[in-house]
């Protein structure tokens, strides 16, 4: 089937809309669907995503922190304005200094999660290792309950109790 | 070591072996790490970048990685060598054509590479043939542990391993599998695969060629989220859910072609054979596209017992792999080899000089003709 708009490409997006009992169908190719605003591009360039997210940040007052886009990191001189251009941070401290404005972006990039629960360096403190392990186990527990694997869930709960 | 020592051969992860290798070409895991006490690269002076480079190079070269390793100064390498390393998936395009002092440590069998001063101070990767993500994960974790004993990585208990771009934060892990999905493409169902990948929050890229455009029906899928999920969970999602699902999709499309549209299947394979065996000028895109159909035909015969007129004549061309008298028998390994060796930088490096586009198309066609006409 050809696209209804350009009449050239194969229609790959088929839309059925029912408004007030009236049924309408649309058959479009991906390009025309994108132009009509029906679908989004498959891969959004990271810079676009970052600048859009930062542009929709709450204002400084709302956050209760005086964050000017020109606030710079005392360790590396990094500013948020640079981040929207380059999409990379300047040093490890930026994650602390710019935590608030960065958090929505981090959340968005990682399916709403903002706390690490993977590998911890052997040299890290015992407490860090323990906390990360607990987080990891709790996540596995939630997944086990969701998939109704109660045997695994019970084992994980015991393990959590033992550590905690 | 000279790159020409490896450029004539195929790397292990692309030799057609490994579990599910008819569809899953290879598995790759990459970790992004930064050194504590140094700024990220965009804020480092060239002098500081050189210090990081030396520190990491010396460390990596002294590790026992179970294979001979060599070091390559990427910023000093000529353009052809850089393109060669990108074609071989040993370094990224960003690393090849980036700025500042940077280098790569490469294991001779090419299953391990470290990029120093790419976007992060250190990116290490392990590549294996077929579906072997668990093995990749074990090996890269071991190497990461060895490095970590000798230096301190930038790490926070909240955000995990700290990376220059927040999209790699946490585990810093990128798990990728390279897939061959010709039947989904021919049957017009590749969009379904893209949509499914998008729903699972996976990134899809082409395996060969520049940017995200897929050539020759090869796709690479990788995780996007790296924070708040452990390395094991990501690997297990790939091995238990994602890969089996994609393999099932592609196999269903292959069965559908065979049972409902055998003429379409035979037309693709016969045309590919005819063109590849006779063409005198062939572009890299066209070669990938046509070789992809031969690869599918051979695999359908091997794994599904498919027997159509075109597949049978392809197999005749292929000979029997057990036939010791026919050393040139066409195998999946041979086809994979052609995929790799006919890439532009491979062609020129093996030829010993830079060629223009027409020169490359002539040479590419000659290599393919000679490989596919061994029986005549």
Mean pLDDT for each consecutive 10-residue tract of chain B (376 residues)?
76 80 93 95 94 97 91 94 92 93 93 96 96 96 96 93 96 96 94 89 76 73 95 95 94 96 96 96 92 94 91 77 52 87 92 94 95 76
B336 contact partners, CB below 8 Å, separation of at least 6: B10, B14, B15, B16, B25, B295
What's the CA gap between B277 and B64, in Å, rounded?
45
Residue B134 has a pLDDT of 96
Q: How far is A18 from chain B (nearest CA, A)?
A: 23
C-alpha distances in Å from residue B66, one per residue of B57, B143, B308: 17, 10, 45
Residue A113 has a pLDDT of 93
With beta carbons less than 8 A apart as the criterion, state whether B25 and B218 touch: yes
In the structure, what pLDDT confidence band is assigned to residue A21 with cuts at 50, 70 and 90?
low
**Which candidate, B195, B30, B196, places its Cα nearest to that of B113?**
B30
Residue B105, number of CB atoms within 10 A of its CB:
22
In the structure, what pLDDT confidence band is assigned to residue A64 with cuts at 50, 70 and 90?
very low
CA–centroid distance for B77 within its chain: 22
Angle in degrees, 0-180, between the axes of helices B344-351 and B357-372, rounded to the nearest 10: 80
* Cβ within 8 Å, pair B224-A109: yes
Q: CB distance from B296 to chain A under 8 Å?
A: no
Residue B129 has a pLDDT of 92
Disruptive mutation site among A54, A88, A156 for chain B (greatest number of B CBs within 10 Å)? A88
H/E element, B208: none
Q: What is the mean pLDDT of residues A40-68?
A: 54
Largest separation between any pair of C-alpha atoms in chain A: 66
Residue A54 has a pLDDT of 64
Residues of chain B found within 8 Å of residue A132, distances taken between Cβ atoms: 157
Q: How far is B367 from chain A (nearest CA, A)?
A: 35
CA–centroid distance for B27 within its chain: 8
With beta carbons less than 8 A apart as the criterion, state whether B245 and B144 touch: no
Length of chain A in terms of residues written: 164
Residue B318 has a pLDDT of 65
In the structure, what pLDDT confidence band is assigned to residue A62 with cuts at 50, 70 and 90?
very low
What's the CA gap between B199 and B204, in Å, rounded?
12
* Cβ within 8 Å, pair B169-A12: no
For residue A30, pLDDT beyond 60: yes
CA–centroid distance for A120 within its chain: 22
Residue A67 has a pLDDT of 53
- In sequence order, the β-bridge partners of residue B33 are B122
B178 contact partners, CB below 8 Å, separation of at least 6: B24, B25, B26, B27, B28, B207, B218, B219, B220
What's the CA gap between A56 and A151, in Å, rounded?
44
- In sequence order, the β-bridge partners of residue A27 are A14
Asked whether the CA dihedral A133, A135, A137, A140 is positive or negative, the reply is negative
> At B299, is the secondary structure helix, strand, or coil?
helix
* Cβ within 8 Å, pair B141-A95: no
Residue A18 has a pLDDT of 66
Q: Could you list the beta-strand ranges (E) of chain A.
A: 13-19, 22-28
For residue A140, pLDDT beyond 60: yes
At residue A90, what are phi and psi to the nearest 5 degrees? -95, -35
> At B125, is the secondary structure helix, strand, or coil?
strand
CA nearest to A136 within chain B:
B230
> At A17, is the secondary structure helix, strand, or coil?
strand
What's the CA gap between A116 and A119, in Å, rounded?
9
Residues of chain A found within 8 Å of residue B159, distances taken between Cβ atoms: 95, 106, 114-116
* Cβ within 8 Å, pair A117-B201: no
Residue A34 has a pLDDT of 72
* Cβ within 8 Å, pair A109-B194: no
Residue A48 has a pLDDT of 63
Q: Is B287 exposed, middle or buried (0-12, 13-18, 19+ CB in 10 A)?
A: buried
Exposure string over B203-225, b if 16+ CB within 10 A, otherwise e: bbbbbbbeeeebbbbbbbbbbeb
C-alpha distances in Å from residue A30, one per residue of A38, A109, A135, B12, B263: 9, 25, 41, 38, 28
* Cβ within 8 Å, pair A109-B159: no
Is pTM beyond 0.80? Reply is yes
At residue B328, what are phi and psi to the nearest 5 degrees? -95, 15
With beta carbons less than 8 A apart as the criterion, state whether A78 and A94 touch: yes
**Which candidate, A162, A161, A142, places its Cα nearest to that of A152?**
A142
Count Cβ–Cβ pairs < 8 Å, chain A vs chain B: 140
Residue A63 has a pLDDT of 47
Residue B251, number of CB atoms within 10 A of its CB:
16
Residue A53 has a pLDDT of 63
């Amino acid at each position: 089937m050809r696209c209804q708009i350009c009449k050239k490409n194969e229609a790959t997006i088929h839309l059925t809309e029912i408004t007030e009992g009236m049924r309408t169908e649309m058959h479009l190719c991906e390009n025309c669907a994108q132009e009509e605003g029906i679908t989004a591009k498959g891969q959004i360039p990271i810079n676009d995503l970052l600048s859009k997210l930062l542009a929709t940040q709450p204002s400084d007052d709302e956050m209760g922190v005086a964050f000017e886009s020109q606030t710079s990191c005392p360790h590396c001189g990094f500013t948020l304005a640079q981040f929207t251009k380059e999409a990379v941070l300047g040093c490890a401290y930026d994650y602390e200094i710019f935590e608030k404005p960065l958090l929505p972006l981090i959340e968005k990039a990682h399916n709403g999660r903002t706390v690490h629960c993977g590998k911890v360096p052997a040299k890290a403190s015992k407490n860090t290792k323990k906390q990360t392990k607990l987080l990891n186990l709790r996540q596995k527990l939630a997944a086990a309950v969701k998939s109704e694997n109660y045997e695994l869930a019970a084992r994980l709960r015991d393990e959590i109790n033992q550590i905690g | 070591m000279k790159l020409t020592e490896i450029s004539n051969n195929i790397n292990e992860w692309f030799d057609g072996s490994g579990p599910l290798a008819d569809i899953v070409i290879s598995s790759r895991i990459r970790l992004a790490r930064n050194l504590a006490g140094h700024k990220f690269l965009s804020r480092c002076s060239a002098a500081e970048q050189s210090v990081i480079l030396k520190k990491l190079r010396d460390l990596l070269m002294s590790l026992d990685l179970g294979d001979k390793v060599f070091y390559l100064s990427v910023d000093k390498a000529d353009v052809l060598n850089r393109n060669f390393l990108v074609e071989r998936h040993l370094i990224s395009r960003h690393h090849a054509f980036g700025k500042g002092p940077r280098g790569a440590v490469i294991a001779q069998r090419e299953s391990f590479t470290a990029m120093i001063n790419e976007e992060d101070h250190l990116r290490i990767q392990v590549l294996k043939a077929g579906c072997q993500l668990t093995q990749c994960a074990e090996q890269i974790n071991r190497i990461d542990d060895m490095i970590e004993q000798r230096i301190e990585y930038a790490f926070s208990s909240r955000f995990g391993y700290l990376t220059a771009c927040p999209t790699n934060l946490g585990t810093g892990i990128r798990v990728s599998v390279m897939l061959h999905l010709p039947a989904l493409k021919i049957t017009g169902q590749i969009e379904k695969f893209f949509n499914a990948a998008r729903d699972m929050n996976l990134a899809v890229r082409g395996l060969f060629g520049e940017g995200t455009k897929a050539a020759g029906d090869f796709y690479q899928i990788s995780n996007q989220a790296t924070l708040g999920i452990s390395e094991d969970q990501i690997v297990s999602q790939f091995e238990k859910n994602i890969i089996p699902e994609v393999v099932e999709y592609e196999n269903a499309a292959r069965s559908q072609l065979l049972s409902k549209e055998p003429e379409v299947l035979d037309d693709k394979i016969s045309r590919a054979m005819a063109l590849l065996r006779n063409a005198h000028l062939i572009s890299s895109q066209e070669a990938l596209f046509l070789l992809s159909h031969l690869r599918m035909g051979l695999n359908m015969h091997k794994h599904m017992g498919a027997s159509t007129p075109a597949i049978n004549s392809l197999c005749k061309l292929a000979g029997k792999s057990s036939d010791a008298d026919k050393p040139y028998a066409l195998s999946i390994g041979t086809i994979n080899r052609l995929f790799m060796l006919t890439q532009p930088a491979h062609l020129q490096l093996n030829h010993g000089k830079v060629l223009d586009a027409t020169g490359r198309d002539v040479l590419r066609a000659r290599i393919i003709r000679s490989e596919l006409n061994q029986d005549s």
